[in-house]
Amino acid sequence: MTGGGRRGRRPGAPDTRAAILAVARERFAAAGFAAVSVRSVAAEAGVDPALVHHYFGSKRDLFLAALEMPVDPREVLAPVIAAGPEGAGERILATILGVWDDDELRLPLLALARGLTDPSGHLLQDGFLPVVIGPVLAELGVDQTERRLPLVISQIIGVLVLRYLARLEPLASMPAEEVVAAVGPTLQRYLTGPLP
């Protein structure tokens, strides 16, 4: 991405910037925006607090950087869409759980999810949900998207909150396949079943 190393190193640091970002992701994911201080991030990363401001501007900028989607939801959900509406409930859930169960992706996703209730909240509400899940339903060729969308999301959010945020057992330790088998039919009904 540097376009060839001829001109020497870019303004970014060797790896301090990455270290800060990694810690920020973990802390924001664990405690939310307000409860995490720039200083605590710097301390845990073993760097000076001023460096945090140096690389990322304000605390909010750091948060946004930590929040950057590690995956493109449209991309991973593309195969689901391509396969059509039959069995889409199971496939959507299996895909999402697969992403969340990835050790490298879970932390940024947790940070994102905390935004649902945090004061810094509107990212999920105004951005992620309608922008990502909405188009998926539309491309699936499902009718009455506006009525089905909140139902689908409600069940997905519920599973994510309990499995990854609250870590409620036995859901937290359950194999993804089992969750898919139990919850998938619900999503399928919301997607293609009759609406009241």
Partner DNA sequence: GTCTATAGACGGATAGAC
Partner DNA sequence: GTCTATCCGTCTATAGAC
CA distance 77 to 35: 33
CA distance 189 to 184: 9
Residue 110 CB, nearest distance to DNA (Å)?
19
64 binds its own copies (CB under 8 A): no
Find the binding residues for DNA in span 1-20 (CB under 7 A). Answer: 9-14, 16-17
Task: Please say whether the dihedral angle defined by the alpha carbons of residues 38, 43, 45 and 48, taken in this order, is positive or negative.
Answer: positive
> Any idea what DSSP says for residue 16?
H
What are the φ/ψ torsions at residue 55 (nearest 5 degrees)?
Answer: -80, -50
Residue 167 CB, nearest distance to DNA (Å)?
25
**Which of its own copies, DNA, none sits in contact with 147, Cβ below 5 to 8 A by type?**
its own copies
Q: Mutual orientation of helices 88-100 and 176-192 as an angle, nearest 10°? A: 140
Residue 189 CB, nearest distance to its own copies (Å)?
7
Q: Binding pattern to its own copies, positions 117-156, x when CB under 8 A?
A: xxx-x--xx---x----------------xx--xx-xxxx
Task: Please say whether the dihedral angle defined by the alpha carbons of residues 134, 140, 141 and 142, taken in this order, is positive or negative.
Answer: negative
Find the binding residues for DNA in span 51-90 (CB under 7 A). Answer: 51, 53-54, 57-60
Q: Six-digit token pair at 167?
A: 């870590």
Strand extents, DSSP E, the chain = none
- 99 membership: H or E segment, kind and range: helix 88-100
177 binds DNA (CB under 7 A): no
**Which of DNA, its own copies, none sits in contact with 106, Cβ below 5 to 8 A by type?**
none
CA distance 156 to 64: 24
Segment interacting with its own copies, rule: CB under 8 A, options 6-14, 18-26, 81-89, 184-192: 184-192
Binding interface with its own copies (CB under 8 A): 31-32, 34-35, 113-114, 116-119, 121, 124-125, 129, 146-147, 150-151, 153-159, 161-163, 165-171, 174, 178, 181-183, 185-186, 189-190, 195-196
Provide the binding-site residues for DNA, judged by CB under 7 A. Answer: 9-14, 16-17, 36-40, 47-51, 53-54, 57-60
